[in-house]
Chains A and B, each alone.
Chain A
């Protein structure tokens, strides 16, 4: 059974193991967030809610909100906006990207898969383009709270593996809670229904089994429909 804590709860005396969602005061570790304790290695409090905060190395899906030479301003579903420099595209571009033609490569409302390269003290966020993901390749985007992302992935990827197999879809889960699905229309419908279900029931136990059951019963019903 997992343990729910609230801000100010005493967690441990091992200050060296204090991780995310905790703070140290007078040689003791306390929770700074409302969430679930995880004691594998670091003592962490996994938050149940709250906004996504970018940190170095995160791979996220961003949406271009403005163009301001030489940057694209990118929304990451976080309170802070991020910037993508034109040089990030210089490898792909045929010609020099200039003030006038930025929108030919990426326009407002386009979605990009980016990696957070640097977050400074003033929360200026620099991004780099993930080149292994081509842009504008179609598919669907769904959004869940970023706190539910680990649940959709499952322990060592068990949940996501099952989803990919049973839904026949390409599924990419970004750290900020945006999920990119690509596949046949009906497969995408199923995948998004299931992912939203997982996000809704994320705090219950035995979820992987229940999702498997749900997927199987769905398949059976489909087959019956085809036969009947």
Chain B
């Protein structure tokens, strides 16, 4: 039986955050010159670069779709991104995450505009600290917009989980490894449409509900940051006002 590790002290988490607090986020758009669109994204100690190419001719040919573009998504961890060197190359875990992330973008990318083409998304993890797939999705979303790919909306993503019996937002590595549950969520903030949802561990129905609520709030925050990063690139006077709020 695993001994319970104390992850919460005096109502604060080990890194001093409250239960509903995000780690600091830093976003930079267009960091790669050769890619059609790119983004550097930091979520706490997670450091991610996303690059988007295309639409361009899809290879291998047999994977082309005559009616719409095919999205290729590669989630990859650098060998130096973890404490123990990660053996380079795709493994079971990263292949699965790539698939999940790709499908998180299915409802937003207007694939039918580019029959037979391929849209390639590369997400490279430079440093990881739990929640890498959510950071990857956030980065990819901005990189896709930067590449000029037509989309219905941006996708924002965050994880919630349970540590020492408490539902908390955005787990870090210590909390993820020693906690009871971890649930990454990707959603379209404007419509609250969930585009990806996974869960590892156990939560009650009530805890799940509370977790969803936390995640929804966080995705709205992340959305505003994503939007601001894109807009300030061409408009230095941006004040963080979203036209949507005036609706």
Stretch of A45-53, A160-168, A172-180 at the chain-chain interface: A45-53
B167 contacts A by Cβ under 8 Å: no
Q: Is the interface of B mostly helix, strand, loop or mixed?
A: loop
Q: Assuming the A-B contacts A7-B108, A8-B190, A50-B147, are A123 and B116 also in contact, with contact meaning beta carbons closer than 8 angstroms in the complex?
A: yes
Q: Assuming the A-B contacts A4-B234, A6-B231, are A79 and B56 also in contact, with contact meaning beta carbons closer than 8 angstroms in the complex?
A: yes
Q: Assuming the A-B contacts A4-B231, A79-B55, A122-B66, are A51 and B148 also in contact, with contact meaning beta carbons closer than 8 angstroms in the complex?
A: yes
Residue of B nearest to A51 (CB): B55
B149 contacts A by Cβ under 8 Å: yes
Q: Which residue of the partner chain, among A21, A34, A51, contacts B230 with CB atoms under 8 Å?
A: A34
B115 contacts A by Cβ under 8 Å: yes
Considering the chains assembled together, what is the distance between the CA atoms of A80 and B115 in angstroms? 10
Considering the chains assembled together, what is the distance between the CA atoms of A11 and B230 in angstroms? 17
A1-56 interface (Cβ within 8 A of B): 1-11, 21, 23, 25, 30, 32-36, 47-51
B161 contacts A by Cβ under 8 Å: no
B230–A6 touching, CB < 8 Å = yes
B36-57 interface (Cβ within 8 A of A): 36-37, 54-57
Considering the chains assembled together, what is the distance between the CA atoms of A30 and B2 in angstroms? 51
B152–A23 touching, CB < 8 Å = yes
A98-140 interface (Cβ within 8 A of B): 121-123
Contact-residue bracket for chain A: 20 to 34
B148–A79 touching, CB < 8 Å = no
Residue of A nearest to B245 (CB): A10
* CB of B8, distance to nearest CB on chain A (Å): 36
* CB of A93, distance to nearest CB on chain B (Å): 32
* CB of B169, distance to nearest CB on chain A (Å): 23
Considering the chains assembled together, what is the distance between the CA atoms of A8 and B226 in angstroms? 12
Considering the chains assembled together, what is the distance between the CA atoms of A2 and B116 in angstroms? 35
Considering the chains assembled together, what is the distance between the CA atoms of A157 and B55 in angstroms? 31
What sequence of 0s and 1s flags, for each residue 197-213 of chain B, a beta carbon within 8 Å of any chain A beta carbon?
Answer: 00000000000000000
Chain A residues near B190 (CB, 8 Å)? Answer: 8
B152–A4 touching, CB < 8 Å = no
- 7 residue pairs of the A-B complex, CB under 8 angstroms, read A4-B231, A4-B234, A4-B238, A23-B152, A33-B148, A51-B148, A79-B54
- B-contacting residues of A (Cβ < 8 Å)? 1-11, 21, 23, 25, 30, 32-36, 47-51, 79-80, 121-123, 147, 203
User: 9 nearest interchain CB pairs?
Assistant: A50-B148, A8-B153, A49-B148, A7-B151, A34-B145, A32-B150, A4-B231, A4-B235, A47-B148
